[in-house]
Structure 1
Amino acid sequence: MNYKVRSIHADEWPEAKALRLAALQDPVAHLAFLETYDEALARPDSFWQERAVGGAEGSSGAQQIIAEGPDGEWVGTLTVLIEEAGTTDWAGFSVERKQGHVVGVFVRPECRGIGLTEVLFDAGLEWAWSQGAERVRLIVHEDNGRAQRLYRKVGFAPTGVTVPLAQASGESELEFAVVRDAD
């Protein structure tokens, strides 16, 4: 595999924006992401700049990790957010211990099935553990079987926690997590 996996740099916001927009055009984007292509496209450049700074190499609260193809094109990404014990998460649940939260997972279709996603997850977990996370979690739509299979493959397991989406929809998402191995 001739790909480079690394954290983004703050000045790479245009590339980060382009990859996010590509992700939001995926056929299962409505199950995988909490925003639409049109919503993301309407955001000002300042939003993308701030987002890149917050997830860039050297940041301790979040890290956006990308995979670059042989020609330098960004072909995959995931972001790990750090959630501190004693805080409340985006869904209103209490965070009981310091943990990572994986969001924004995407690999371009032509690069799927070659092990790239596993390498992205390895890098994301390594970063979360280096920040003192005791576990890393992610939230996946109950109907997104493709993502659930991938998450199991990279070591995540369902925790039994269900996160309801908009009440009118009756849909929910499932929490998956992995706990750091004792050294």
Structure 2
Amino acid sequence: MDHVIRAVRPDEWPRTRELRLDALRDPAAPVAFLETYEAAVAYPDTVWQERAAGFSARQGIRSLEFVAEAPDGRWSGSVAVLVEEAGREDFFGGTVERAQGHLVGVFVRPEHRGGLVIGGLVAAALDWAWALEDPRLARVRLHVHEGNPRAAAAYRKLGFVPTGVTVPMAGDPSAKELECAIARP
């Protein structure tokens, strides 16, 4: 693979914003992301700065975002890992039973889909998650829309297994998000 997979630096928040807005304009965005372009474009710079720095003051969540950087410097994709600590409320209103990671914001530009970029991004995210000691994460999970079979297949290929847990899709309770997870090795 000719891409470098690396963590986003705090000063790269404008590039983080640009890539996320590109992702939210992608045709797959309605089944891939819980936020909309219209909402994200209105965020103040502080939201993007927090994302790039790896901590959301308003949500109290630690995270790290990874990017796939092409030889020409263009960002081809990204993924973020959120640290969900035991006893805290998760994004869906439940309680986190054990410390875990949560992959979010997975995006690969269309011209790089089906290749090695997603595997590199997820591998970097998992390496970081497993290296954490406080808290020590038991697993990493993600959610995939039931109407996004291409993404579901990619996650299965990377080792994620459906857990049987489903949650209603935000904005359309008739649609479901399927939880998949990978246990700590």
Rate the CA distance shift 1:12–1:166 in 2: closer, same or farther, 3 A: closer
Task: State the percentage of identical aligned residues.
Answer: 54
Which residue of the partner structure matches residue 50 of structure 1? 50
Deviation at 1:23, TM superposition (A): 0.5
Give the Cα–Cα distance (whole angstroms) in 1 for the partners of residues 147 and 47 of structure 2: 30
AA at the equivalent of 2:123: D
Which residue of the partner structure matches residue 87 of structure 1? 88
Give the Cα–Cα distance (whole angstroms) in 2 for the partners of residues 166 and 121 of structure 1: 24
Deviation at 1:114, TM superposition (A): 2.0
Q: Gaps (5+ residues) in structure 2?
A: 56-60
Q: Please show how residues 9-158 of structure 1 align to structure 2 within 5 Å.
A: 9-54=9-54, 61-131=62-132, 132-158=136-162
Give the Cα–Cα distance (whole angstroms) in 2 for the partners of residues 145 and 72 of structure 1: 30
Which residue of the partner structure matches residue 58 of structure 2? none
Rate the CA distance shift 1:155–1:13 in 2: closer, same or farther, 3 A: same
Deviation at 1:84, TM superposition (A): 0.8
Give the Cα–Cα distance (whole angstroms) in 2 for the partners of residues 52 and 136 of structure 1: 20
Deviation at 1:51, TM superposition (A): 1.8
Please give the per-residue CA displacement for 1:136-164, whole angstroms capped at 9, x wherever unaligned: 00011111111101110100010000111
Q: Gaps (5+ residues) in structure 1?
A: none
TM-score computed with the length of structure 1 as normaliser = 0.92
Secondary structure, counterpart of 2:13 in structure 1: helix
Secondary structure, counterpart of 1:118 in structure 2: helix
AA at the equivalent of 1:91: F
Deviation at 1:48, TM superposition (A): 1.1
Please give the per-residue CA displacement for 1:50-84, whole angstroms capped at 9, x wherever unaligned: 221125xxxx9211000100101111100000111
Secondary structure, counterpart of 1:61 in structure 2: strand
Higher alpha-carbon deviation: 20-29 or 165-174: 165-174
Please give the per-residue CA displacement for 1:12-34, whole angstroms capped at 9, x wherever unaligned: 00100000011011111000111
Rate the CA distance shift 1:166–1:69 in 2: closer, same or farther, 3 A: closer
Give the Cα–Cα distance (whole angstroms) in 1 for the partners of residues 116 and 53 of structure 2: 28
How many residues of Structure 1 are paired with residues of Structure 2 in the alignment? 178
139, 164, 182: which one aligns with 1:160: 164
Give the Cα–Cα distance (whole angstroms) in 1 for the partners of residues 54 and 128 of structure 2: 15
Give the Cα–Cα distance (whole angstroms) in 1 for the partners of residues 122 and 171 of structure 2: 31
Give the Cα–Cα distance (whole angstroms) in 1 for the partners of residues 118 and 91 of structure 2: 25
Which protein has the bigger strand share? 2
